[in-house]
Amino acid sequence: MELRHLRYFVAVADEKNYTRAAERLHIAQPPLSRQVQQLEEELGVLLIEKGSRPLRLTEAGKFFHAHAQELLDKAADLKAMTQRVGKIDRKFAIGFVASTLYGLLPEIVRRFRNRFESVEISFHEMTTMEQLQALKEGRIDVGFGRLKSEDPAIRRIVLREEALIVALPVGHRLAALDEPLRLADLVQETLLVYPKAPRPSFADQVLATFMERNLVPQQVQEVRELQIAIGLVGAGQGIAIVPQSLQGMIRTDVVYRPLDDLKAVSPIIFSTRHMDRSPELVNMLEVIYEIYDELGIAHVKQAL
Ligand code: BEZ
């Protein structure tokens, strides 16, 4: 049994369909079916229920799926970390959700770069869910995201909980109020949420903020990304709930107002491969905490 067999089986189990799995793996369907069949023959058990559409895993298949995924994650981890250990000029790839770019990310990276000049930094904008996959595949070394999704291959550190605020079109009646806005006052407005995909995403975090308070926004429009949401707010198409750092995105057609709800927050999460303790990560975390201390930002320090 080779890693290839595991990768093929996991794709089939995830997609529940041979055609989609073959597309995802960029191979033809007949060799994919043959490889899964070979795997079942070698194991001497059925992994997929015969004739099921969509495909259903047997009990043995479910067991194998969970452990195969774990082994693939470990293999990706081993590859990425070995490559990093072997490099003299250190490269450090950062995945980030767009909103962090309007907050402290630029300052954090400026300071890190000044202090560790030999490290070559690259940036990759992606959702939190995309960051998890990119970490496992070794395409990034750290992800700054907002979702607390569980994944055994990933280590998460919640850096801080950031307040949510409201983005309104300039001239909107709620923008004229002096006091912080109540979420209940926003349910009649068209709520623009992002990103539309992949889910779960920040969109679900915002919707959950309403649901947890028994509030249901009357009209929700899902858009692809933050910049589109803010652009549409500027066009008067609706309002958006965004992290406080978005105040750094200054536009003449959008105003930001605080919420009166201290529990309406979004975490900023530092995600890494589970076993990775490379110096770049340790140093990056140190720089972040240093900046938080200087700015008096509430946080709970955690070691890598
Ligand atoms: C922050 O705003 O706290 C932050 C942003 C990006 C990376 C790390 C922290």
pLDDT digits (tens, 9 = 90+) for 34-80: 999 999 999 999 999 988 888 999 999 999 999 999 999 888 888 87
CA of 195 to the centre of ligand 1 (A): 19
Average pLDDT, the chain: 93
Dist CA 87 CA 85 (whole Å): 6
* Residues in a beta bridge with 161: 267
**CB of 100 closer than 6 A to ligand 1?**
yes
pLDDT at position 153 is 87
203: helix, strand or coil:
helix
Q: Whose CA is nearest to atom 3 of ligand 1?
A: 104
**Residue 234 dihedral angles phi and psi, to the nearest 5°:** -55, -35
Dist CA 253 CA 300 (whole Å): 36
CA of 233 to the centre of ligand 1 (A): 24
CA of 145 to the centre of ligand 1 (A): 9
Q: Whose CA is nearest to atom 6 of ligand 1?
A: 105
Q: Whose CA is nearest to atom 1 of ligand 1?
A: 104
| Predicted structure pTM score | 0.75
**Exposed/middle/buried for 279, CB within 10 Å: 0-12, 13-18, 19+?**
exposed
276: helix, strand or coil:
coil
